[in-house]
Chains A and B, each alone.
Chain A
Amino acid sequence: MGLTATLQGFAEKCNQHERLRVMNRDWTRNVRVLAEDVGQDYWIRSVAGELSAGEGELSEDADMEIRADQRVLEAVFSGEMTPTEPYNQGDLMVRGNQDDLFRLDVITLMIWGE
């Protein structure tokens, strides 16, 4: 499965999770996701907690930017790895609010568990 499908699957899981929908309803963000090793842009958009994702550049300014190799991004957004793990090892860079990274951690935990 490619990263586009992984990100879309992540967005779908979020949208289907009732408690996450409540948690994210005050969360509107444009997230740039950059697979650095292949130089490919992706995006995740949250509009009042309704998530969508796709391939290509964002049409708006990014509130948050996540950069890593494609395999790391696929692992994080498919639940194989927590975001904190590669972040602490320097394999995942996040630009933006640290609260958003915290929220991402909570989202992945709620979707996939430990």
Chain B
Amino acid sequence: MQARIRGTCQKRMGTMGIDKTVVGISLGSSQRDHEAEIILSGTRVKIRRQGSDGSLARAKELLIDLDGQVDAIGLGGIDRWLVVDGERYAVRDAEMLAAAVKKTPVVDGRGFKEVFEPKVIRQLLAAGQIDSSQRVLMVSALDRFGMADAFYALGFPTIAGDLIFSAGLDLPIVSRRELVELARRLLPEVVKRPFAEFYPVGEAQETVPDQRFQRYFDQADIIAGDFHLIRRYLPPVLAGKIVVTNTTTSKDVENLKQRGVRLLVTTTPILSGRSFGTNVVEAAMVAVLGVGPDEPGWTHAVESFDMAFSQMDLNPA
């Protein structure tokens, strides 16, 4: 890969002992399993991701096995809560999984996304990497309200594709107000339904892209949000586009490069060719900081954390 990588998180390959261990249990494909070691605020953390191939039962077994054995657990491929405009909606499937863990902190990346991802958008704007006249397609905003809210607040014309890409309804959400109204009306019931009805889990993460909604990608300058949703609907050509996402592998990066993506920004750092899920990064932060995302010191701790997002110029202009 010829891409230029900037601002990755610090990584050390030494022989010193591991200070903390965190594991991300994901409903995603086990083909994406990986592990790495990182240094966070001087603490060496071993992080590992393990997929359950879409099986809630398998994920629950893995969680029970890990309970009390590691410093923190990330829940991936599913959101424990969707938080929109201050309202929190508990996802039933994820609550069931989290309830299986009695001793170890369980996080889903929400705390990281709420605090860190808006900061990424502000920094990209301040650095001139993006500008507020660019049209944004957020493939899903309900699971990344912090990022969506940053785009809205900074004046980016933003379309949220939650109904399109998660429910198959060809209705773009065209404003923050509309997004919040839809969340208030629909989420109380939606969160009770099986999560797999709205989000690709297991083998669904590896299927051939569905190109019914290509025009929304064509109309956007910036494509942002969950990578599995982006990948599921990925059009053949994305010339000159900016993609802001995470959980990409080196194969995904090559795929985006071949389609003409100009700049790939991953909000989590790239380690061993992959950007980790927000849940795993958040679990590492919880393990190191000793503070959880619902505790008062969380926002300050995350904002002051020495962690950089990644930028890759895949097809420089």
A106 to B167 alpha-carbon distance, docked (Å) = 11
Main secondary structure on chain A at its contact with chain B? helix
A106 to B185 alpha-carbon distance, docked (Å) = 9
- With a cutoff of 8 Å between Cβ atoms, the chain B residues found around residue A12 in the complex are none
- Interface residues in A3-21 (C-beta closer than 8 Å to B): 19-20
Q: Is B169 an interface residue (CB 8 A)?
A: yes
Q: Is A99 an interface residue (CB 8 A)?
A: yes
- With a cutoff of 8 Å between Cβ atoms, the chain A residues found around residue B171 in the complex are 19-20, 22-23, 106, 110
- Interface residues in B165-182 (C-beta closer than 8 Å to A): 167-172, 181-182
Q: Is B1 an interface residue (CB 8 A)?
A: no
A70 to B186 alpha-carbon distance, docked (Å) = 24
A102 to B188 alpha-carbon distance, docked (Å) = 12
**Given A19-B171, A26-B170, A102 contacting B186 (CB threshold 8 A):** yes
Query: Looking across the interface, which residue of chain B has its beta carbon closest to that of A19?
Result: B171
Q: Is A105 an interface residue (CB 8 A)?
A: yes
- Interface residues in A62-114 (C-beta closer than 8 Å to B): 82, 84, 88, 98-99, 102-103, 105-106, 109-110, 113-114
Q: Which residues of B contact A (CB under 8 A)?
A: 163, 167-172, 181-182, 184-186, 188-190, 193
15 more A-B contacts (CB under 8 A) besides A26-B170, A84-B189?
A: A19-B171, A22-B170, A23-B171, A82-B185, A84-B185, A102-B167, A105-B186, A106-B163, A106-B171, A106-B186, A110-B171, A113-B181, A114-B181, A114-B184, A114-B185
